[in-house]
């Protein structure tokens, strides 16, 4: 009986020593596994460029629909709009599924090749769920022809 108690005490002492030295690294690995984020911005970068030709003073840059089961989070919009005459921009909007982000066009001080150029380079925060087609709409003060090119940047996350 006494030797049995000594054996149990020895096993408990051995477990205490092993636990003291190995418990912290094991718990750190478990914690790292639990907090790993599959939806981090850097893992699922989204960046898409497109352009359009105006129709009656409106130019719509359409982007591909967001894949099913995912959400697109747009964080930045860059755009350049070129007019052959002195027409001015009325508004620029990032749109999709009831989302409206109003952007600020700025006239470039030095225009190239007798063109009048407006640029937009802004941080935004807009989200679009699967099946939604985001677009950028540029509105001019006249019905004259113009071109617009734009890039939306952000990331995709999986919707459970």
pLDDT in tens, 25-76: 655 665 555 555 666 667 789 999 999 998 788 999 999 999 999 999 999 9
Tell which wins on pLDDT, 130 or 30: 130
Q: Tell me the three state secondary structure of residue 9.
A: helix
Q: 144-154: b or e for each residue (b if 16 or more CB lie within 10 Å)?
A: ebbbbbbbbbb
Average per-residue pLDDT for the chain: 82
Residues 6+ apart with CB under 8 A from 53: 59, 145, 146, 147
CA dihedral (84, 86, 90, 95) in degrees, to 10, reads 20
63: exposed, middle or buried (C-beta count within 10 Å: 0-12, 13-18, 19+)? buried
**Average pLDDT, stretch 84-110?**
84
**Average pLDDT, stretch 13-24?**
64
Work out the number of other CB atoms within 10 angstroms of the CB of residue 100: 10
Q: Does the model's pTM come out above 0.85?
A: no
Distances in whole angstroms, Cα of residue 107 to Cα of each of 34, 56, 83, 117: 49, 21, 11, 6
Distances in whole angstroms, Cα of residue 64 to Cα of each of 5, 46, 68: 72, 11, 12
**Average pLDDT, stretch 113-129?**
89
């Amino acid at each position: 009986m006494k030797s049995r108690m000594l054996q149990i005490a020895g096993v408990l002492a051995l477990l205490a020593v092993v636990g003291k030295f190995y418990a912290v690294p094991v718990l750190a690995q478990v914690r790292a596994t639990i907090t790993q984020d599959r939806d981090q911005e850097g893992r699922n970068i989204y960046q898409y460029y497109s352009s359009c030709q105006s129709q009656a003073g409106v130019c719509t840059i359409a982007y591909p629909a967001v894949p099913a089961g995912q959400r697109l989070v747009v964080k930045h919009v860059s755009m350049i709009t070129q007019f052959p005459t002195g027409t001015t921009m009325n508004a620029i909007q990032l749109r999709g599924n009831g989302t409206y982000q109003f952007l600020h066009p700025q006239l470039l001080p030095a225009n190239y090749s007798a063109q009048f150029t407006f640029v937009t380079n802004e941080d935004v925060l807009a989200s679009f769920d699967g099946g939604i087609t985001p677009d950028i709409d540029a509105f001019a003060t006249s019905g004259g022809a113009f071109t617009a090119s734009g890039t939306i940047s952000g990331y995709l996350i999986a919707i459970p």
